[in-house]
């Protein structure tokens, strides 16, 4: 059960960090003058997802808080969820 929970948390943190990276790339492209209206209209669910959090600091801190929590509880942050954590005896 603990393994499945840590796997779910690690995937959630990874997906959340990936969405943040995508949002940062789209914002940078918008500031550089690229016409990304079609891409932005396709990503409206992403915008709704980020409105769930009250502040920007919380949005950017969520994956890191999750990874630090996993590191404290399990000894491995599992930043890349598809890789199994190394055992101490190996």
Tell me: the pLDDT tens digits for 13-32? 898 888 878 777 777 776 77
pLDDT of residue 79: 84
Residue 83 lies in a domain: no
Give the model's pLDDT for residue 35. 66
Averaged pLDDT, groups of 10, the chain, 90 residues long: 86 86 75 66 66 64 85 86 66
Predicted pLDDT at 89: 47
Range of the domain at 36: 2-74
The answer to whether position 87 is within a domain reads: no
Please indicate, yes or no, if residue 86 is contained in any of the structural domains: no
Q: Over the chain, what is the mean pLDDT?
A: 75
81 domain-assigned: no
Domain count, the chain: 1
Residue 30, in any domain of the structure = yes
Q: Quick check: is 90 in a domain? A: no
Following DSSP, what letter does each residue of the chain receive, concatenated? -HHHHHHHHHHHHHHHHHHHHHHHHHHHHHHTT---HHHHHHTHHHHHHHTTSSSHHHHHHHHHHHHHHHHHHHS---SSTTSPPPPTT-
Per-residue pLDDT, 90: 46
Residue 17 lies in a domain: yes
């Amino acid at each position: 059960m603990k393994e499945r929970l840590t796997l779910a948390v690690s995937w959630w943190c990874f997906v959340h960090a990936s969405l943040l990276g995508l949002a940062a790339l789209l914002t940078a492209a918008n500031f550089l003058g690229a016409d990304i209206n079609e891409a932005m209209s396709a990503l409206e669910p992403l915008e709704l997802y980020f409105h769930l959090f009250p502040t920007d600091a919380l949005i950017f801190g969520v994956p890191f808080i999750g990874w630090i929590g996993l590191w404290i509880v399990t000894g491995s942050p599992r930043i890349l969820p598809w890789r199994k954590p190394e055992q101490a005896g190996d």
